[in-house]
Structure 1
Amino acid sequence: MTEKTRLKRVSETSELEVQFKLSLLDDTVVEQTEENEVFVFQVGDGQFLAKLDELLVGLEEGTRAKFTLMPEDAFGQPDPMNFQTMKKADFPEGMQLTEGHVIGFNTPTGDEIPATVYQIKEDEVVMDFNHPLAGQPLIFDVTVVKVLS
């Protein structure tokens, strides 16, 4: 193989086109590209988890790879400090509160953070402010379609 035909490898600063599927161990799809779609991004730009960027470095253009990420390399383990008990009266009247339902809360800086209804008590609701994927191992199935730079 000559130097000109050698396949490009992903570096720490490469811009890439990839096709990917991120799923749970039970095959529940978290996020994926559509069949004829590519996702364009630059390694290290924060669009992927840092560990995923790290796993892509060194792969050749055209390579398909499958990785399992443990929670520590993805969204971490649930933190008991991220469970907050709130009064039902603090929620808008008529809001449907069901366990597993995700609700967005505005922070003082104007950002929105999601929380999952963990438990409903008589006058209180326990909210889980951990990332919904905390504690979950993830499967990352990726094809490096093209290394652009």
Structure 2
Amino acid sequence: MTEVIKSDSHVIVHITMKLADGSAADSTKVHNKPAKIIMGDESISPAFEAQLLGLQKGESKEFTLQAVDSFGETNPDNIHYVDINKFSSDAPAQVGNIVTFTQPGGIELPGMITDVSGSSVTVDFNHPLAGQAVTFVIDVVDILSGDA
């Protein structure tokens, strides 16, 4: 009997993400490092999990999820204004630069500089794909038992 992905499966997959214009946003195939997904652990959205259910090893599937089911909507609370004095020549305040701030507890939070106006630098800490529909191409590499 061929094993299929179930609600408690641990699966190894290659994930390729494409934007609405068809351009590739990211792929685990670039470095040949497939991702491990533990179904039911809430690390991915229920809508994403639903697309995987029933797939078999070796199968591929392409599907598009709206922002709310992929990387979320853009959250205005994740946009912060930082004084330009917080930046240095090593990490200049330039639009398009990605900067990392260390949060309490040592958690690093990357953000993209979206605007520099006078001494105020706008940093967007939303995921770069937030607010966008994303097309996923899933290639099932392996299906492990639920306790793997």
User: Could you state the TM-score of these two structures normalised by the residue count of structure 1?
Assistant: 0.81
3-state SS, counterpart of residue 74 of structure 2: coil
1:75 to 2:64 alignment: no
Q: Aligned Cα RMSD in Å?
A: 2.3
Distance (Å, rounded) in 2 between the aligned partners of 1:44 and 1:124: 42
Distance (Å, rounded) in 1 between the aligned partners of 2:133 and 2:75: 16
Q: Which residue of 1 aligns with 2:105?
A: 109
Which of 137, 142, 145 aligns to 2:141? It is 145
Structure 2: which amino acid aligns with 1:58? G
Q: Which residue of 2 aligns with 1:134?
A: 130
How many residues of Structure 1 are paired with residues of Structure 2 in the alignment? 144
Q: Contact 1:33/1:39 (CA < 8 Å) preserved in 2?
A: no
Which of 113, 116, 122 aligns to 1:120? It is 116
Q: Which residue of 2 aligns with 1:23?
A: 18
Which of 13, 16, 21 aligns to 2:8? It is 13
Q: Contact 1:24/1:30 (CA < 8 Å) preserved in 2?
A: no
Equivalences for residues 39-54 of structure 1 within 5 A: 39-45=35-41, 48-54=44-50
Q: Contact 1:22/1:141 (CA < 8 Å) preserved in 2?
A: yes
Deviates more, 1:63-72 or 1:138-147: 138-147
- The structure that has the greater radius of gyration is 1
Structure 1: which amino acid aligns with 2:47? K
Distance (Å, rounded) in 2 between the aligned partners of 1:37 and 1:111: 24
Percent identity over the alignment is 28
Q: Contact 1:106/1:113 (CA < 8 Å) preserved in 2?
A: yes
Q: Contact 1:14/1:147 (CA < 8 Å) preserved in 2?
A: yes
Q: Compute the displacement of 1:138 (Å).
A: 0.9
- For structure 1, which runs of at least 5 residues remain unmatched after alignment? 1-5
- For structure 2, which runs of at least 5 residues remain unmatched after alignment? none
User: Could you state the TM-score of these two structures normalised by the residue count of structure 2?
Assistant: 0.82
